Amino acid sequence: DVQLLESGGTLLRPGGSLRLSCAASGFTFSSHVMSWVRQAPGKGLEWVSSISDTGDNTFYADSLKGRFTISRDNSKNTLFLQMNSLRAEDTALYYCARNSWLSEKDFDYWGLGTLVTVSS
Amino acid sequence: DIQMSQSPSALSAAVGDRVTITCRASQGIINYLGWFQQKPGKPPKYLIYGASSLQSGVPSRFKGSGSGTDFTLTISSLQPEDFATYYCQQYHSYPLTFGQGTKVDIK
């Protein structure tokens, strides 16, 4: 079974940095585009970033303005999200999602999420 | 960027009702449209891809239709486990975008 397990979420101050991880299992990780999607408390879904299967190509939401960096380690089946200069509006549940093999831009499996809270 | 707009934002329905949710894209996305179901405290579940194809294991009472800019999710006979929030998502191009969601609750 496909499993995605996020970790790294915590409470931190504005301006801080954090790295999220997502451990993948149950599928060939290196064959799939992977993504991060976030959901602020009580709000809708917001795509954050995607990375190609090899890691050579990355894509970001415009609103992040270069503060976040997505990466992956295919030898360890792990996806990462480095988050810098965090703001209160980055407070959200961050989901790791597998992109489908067919289209590579839709999300067919999701983890349970890891909560990031940015507050002074 | 492609904006996705869902309607209604919320609806109340009874078990057995037919429910229709609409999703409109700000520009044509062919059929690169997915639908998700999310229950409180749970991650989204993928229901439909390609505007009308059911993911494996999704009940046949869920039906997606549409192409271009206008899409519909129909639940033919609402079941107790279907009360949830539904989101559409376009995957025609980056940045990937979601509709704002439609909450379906019990009448």
The tens digit of pLDDT for each residue in A22-57 reads 999 999 999 999 999 999 999 999 999 999 999 999
E strands within B1-107?
4-7, 10-13, 19-25, 33-38, 45-49, 53-54, 62-67, 70-75, 85-90, 97-98, 102-106
Count of Cβ atoms closer than 10 Å to residue B68 Cβ: 14
Which residues in chain A are closer than 8 Å to B92, comparing Cβ atoms? 105
- Is the Cβ pair B101, A62 closer than 8 Å? no
Which residues in chain B are closer than 8 Å to A109, comparing Cβ atoms? 46
- Is the Cβ pair A45, B44 closer than 8 Å? yes
Phi and psi angles of residue B86, each rounded to the nearest 5 degrees, phi first = -115, 135
- Reading phi first (left if > 0) and then psi (alpha if -120 to 50, else beta), residue A59 is in beta
- Is the Cβ pair B95, A59 closer than 8 Å? yes
* Tens digit of each residue's pLDDT (9 = 90 or more) over A50-95: 999 999 999 999 999 799 999 999 999 999 999 999 999 999 999 9
Looking only at the bridges linking them, the beta strands covering A11-12 and B4-7 are unpaired
Q: A51 at the B interface (CB within 8 A)? A: no
Block residue for tokens 């239709």: B65
